[in-house]
Structure 1
Amino acid sequence: MPGIDHELQVLLLQNRPDTPAEILRTAFGMEIPAYDRAETGCADLTSFSLKETKADQVSVLFGADGRRLMAIISEVQAKPDDEKAYTWPLYTSIVRERLRCPVHLLALCPDRRTAEWARKPIGERSGSLAFQASGLGPDNMPVIADPARAQQLPELSVLSTVLHVNHAENPAVLDAVQAALDVLPEKRREDYYDYIWWKLNEPARQLWETMMQAEKYEWQGTYRRKIEENEARGFARGVARGVAQGIAQGIAQGVAEAKAEDILRLLDSHGVDLSDGQRETIKTCTDIDRLDTWFDRALKATTARDVFTP
C-alpha cells in the first residue's frame, strides 16, 4: 500500500500538472511541444474487468486550439520492481488509445540505482516492441539554487531539494525552495515545508528548522504533526505504565515504543521490505539511542540493510 512519501510526491504532480513536462525538459533535454495549458487526466487505466489498473498521475498538454499534444504518465517508484516491465507499457498503450496523442512515462525514483533500473529498455531482448521510460533520480535531477527559478517551478524545486540532500546543506538551495514556497497557498506550503523537513539529512534539517524559526513558522503540517502526536501518545502510554512500573521506566518504554512506530511507518512509506524478525527487532528495542540511529538511517533507507548496517 502506498505510504506518505509516495502520496506526497503524487500530490506534488497533481497540484501542478505541468511539472512532469518541466522535468522531462530540464532533466532529460526532451523536446516538449509548445503547449497552452496542462491538466491532470484520469489515472484509472482499467481496460478489463479482471484487474484494476491505475497510474499515479497523468498530465495532458493541450495546444491553444484545445488539441491534445502530449500525455505524460508519472509513476513514483521507490525501488526496482520486475512487474513494471509489464504494467508500464500497458499504461502507455491505454493512455495512447484513449487520448490519441504521443505518450511518455516518467518514473520518480529516490536513488540512482532505482533510476538507472527505470531507464532500462523493456522488450528489446525478446524482439518485441521496445519501451523505455525516463527514470528521474539524484543523478539527473538539476539542483535548483536560484530563487527566481524556484518560484517559477515550486514543485520541481521541492523534488530537487529532497533528492539532493547533500546539496540541501547549502543555504542557497534551501533559500531558493523557501522563496518558492512563500508564493504558494498556505495548506500546500505547510505540507511542503514538513515534507522537506522529513526527507532532509540531519545537518540540512537543522538548517531548515533554523530558517523556519526565523520565519516564525509553526510546525503544524501533516508529517511533523504525526511525529509529535506519536511522541505524545508514547509519553502518555509511559505515564500510565509508570503507576505500576515506576514513572521513569514507564515513560522510557512508552517513548521507545513510539519511536519504533515512527521508524516502521517511515520504512513502510519508503517501500522498504522488512522481515517479520526485523520488524520485531525494531518494535521490541528499548535502547533510545539505537532507535534514534535507526530513525536517522530510515529517513534515506531503500533497503533493510541501510537501517541495520552502519
Structure 2
Amino acid sequence: MVSPPHEAMHRIFQEYPGLFTGVSRVLDLQFAPPSSVTVLPTDLTEVRPVERRVDTLLRFDSDCDDPFLLAVEAQGKKDPDKPSSWAYYLSFLNTKYKIPVLLLVVCQDRATAEWATQPVSLSPRQWPALMLRPLVAGPHNMPVITNPDEARADLALATLSAITHAKEPVVDGILKALSTALQDVPEAVADPIIEFTARGLTGNRHATQLWRNLMAVDLSFYKSWLSEEIRDEGRTEARVQTAAEDVLLVLEARGLDVPDEVRERITGCDDPGLLRQWLTRAVTVPSAEEIFMEKGV
C-alpha cells in the first residue's frame, strides 16, 4: 500500500512542476526555465505481463534548451532492487520519447538519501556502459525554510522542505513558517499545500499534531479537508467530555462518594461506548468504583 509521504514526495511535482526549478537551483544545477511542462502517463508497462510504473513523469520544454523528461521517484528506504528498476525506467523512457531523461529521487531520511546518491554501474567493471546517477533531494541538501517571507516566496519549495525534513526536529520551525506564510494566500492556493504537507508528515506524530494545531489556529477560516477533519475531532472531543460529565453528575446526584482516581479515570476516557456503559451502571451501583465492573449491582 502506497503511504501518504510517498504520494506527497512525488505528486507535489505534478501539482507544481515549477518546483523542479527551485530544487535544481538549490542543488546548483542550471536548467533553463521551461516554456511549458507536460504531465505524462506514468504507466511504463510492457506488452508482456510485467508492470512497471514510475511515480511521477513530467516533460519539460524550453525555448532556449533541449526538452527532457523528469522522472520523480519517492524512496522511503534502501532497496537493492531499485537501481536496476530505475535504469529500466530511464532506458524505456528514452526509447519511447527519444529525448534525455533525468531521475530525481526524493527521500525523507539521510541514510536513504546517501544510498540513493551513490552512482551505480549496471555494467561489467571493465566497461561501464551504463552508469546510474540519480539526482537526489532529501534532508541532506534541501533548505530548512524557517522564515515566513522565504516560505511565502516559494510555497512549493517550502512544502518540500517540510516533507523532506519531516523526520527531523527542524521540521517544527519549517511548519510554523509555512503556516504563517499561508495566512496571506487565497484558500485555493493554500488547500493543496495544506494537504501535501499533512500527507508528507505521516509517521511523525509530533509533527502531524503540530501541523493540525497550526491549521486549527492560524487557518481556522479555511474549509479545507484538514480543517474540517480537525473541527470534526473537536466536536467528538466535546461529546466525549459531555458524556464523562454526565457519568459524574449521576454519581454525585445519588450522593455517592467519587474518589479522585475514579474521577480521573472517567474524565480521561475517550471511548464514547465505554462512557455509555458507565453511565448506565452509574444509575444503580452502590459505589462509584463499581461502575468499572462488568456487572454493577
Q: In structure 2, what is the Cα distance between the partners aligned to 1:146 and 1:89? A: 38
CA distance in 2 between counterparts of 1:177 and 1:110 reads 20
SS in 1 for 2:70: strand
Q: Does 1:235 align with 2:247?
A: no
Give the secondary structure class of the aligned counterpart of 2:5.
Answer: helix
Q: Return the offset for 1:110.
A: 0.9
Per the TM alignment, residue 22 of structure 1 is displaced from its structure 2 partner at its CA by 2.6
Q: Is the 8 A contact 1:19 1:156 kept in 2?
A: yes
TM superposition shift of 1:248: 5.5
Q: Give a deviation string over 1:101-152, Cα, whole Å, max 9, x none.
A: 2211111111000001111112267334111112222111112234444334
Residue 170 (structure 2) aligned to one of 167, 182, 191: 167
For the pair 1:97 / 2:95, whether they are aligned, the reply is yes
Q: Unpaired runs of 5+ in structure 2?
A: 241-269, 282-289
Pick from 176, 191, 198: which aligns with 2:195? Answer: 191
The CA deviation string for residues 281-300 of structure 1, in whole angstroms up to 9 with x for no partner, is xxxxxxxxxxxxxxxxxxxx
Q: Structure 1: which 5+ runs fail to align?
A: 251-310
> Partner residue of 2:134?
133
203-212 vs 86-95, which deviates more? 203-212
User: What does residue 157 of structure 2 align with?
Assistant: 156
Are 2:214 and 1:216 equivalent residues in the alignment? Answer: no
The one-letter amino acid of 2:40's match is G
CA contact (8 A) 2:110 2:139 kept: yes
Q: Distance in 2 between matches of 1:121 and 1:214?
A: 44
Structure-1-length-normalised TM-score: 0.64
Q: Could you say which residue in structure 2 is the equivalent of 1:56?
A: 55
Does residue 28 of structure 2 align to residue 37 of structure 1?
no
Distance 1:249 1:54 in 2: 55
Corresponding residue number in structure 1 for 2:7: 7
| Equivalent position of 1:179 in the other structure | 181
Equivalent residue for 1:257?
none
CA distance in 2, matches of 1:205, 1:222: 12
> 1:112 is matched by which residue type in structure 2?
R
Distance 1:189 1:19 in 2: 13
CA shift digits 1:68-112 (9 cap, x unpaired):
612111011010111112110011112222222221111111100
The number of residue pairs the alignment matches comes to 245
Q: What amino acid maps onto 1:92 in structure 2?
A: L
Aligned-partner Cα distance in 2 for 1:75–1:143:
21
Distance 1:193 1:78 in 2: 16
The C-alpha deviation readout for 1:199-258, integer Å capped at 9, x for no partner, is 6663895487257414435686359939949x88983454577679x87689xxxxxxxx
- Superposed displacement of residue 32, structure 1: 1.2
**What's the CA shift for 1:183?**
4.3
Paired position in structure 1 for 2:245: none
C-alpha RMSD of the superposition: 3.8
**Which structure has greater helix proportion?**
1
Instruction: Please identify the structure whose Cα radius of gyration is greater.
Output: 2
| C-alpha distance in structure 1 between counterparts of 2:66 and 2:273, whole Å | 56
Percent identity for Structure 1 against Structure 2: 20
Alpha carbons 1:108, 1:135 under 8 Å: kept: yes
Which piece of structure 1 moves more, 232-241 or 39-48?
A: 232-241
Q: Map residues 71-110 of structure 1 onto 2, 5 A cutoff.
A: 71-110=69-108
For the Cα contact (< 8 Å) 1:151–1:183, is it kept in 2?
A: no
Output the CA distance in 2 between the equivalents of 1:22 and 1:141. 10
Tell me the equivalent position of 2:267: none
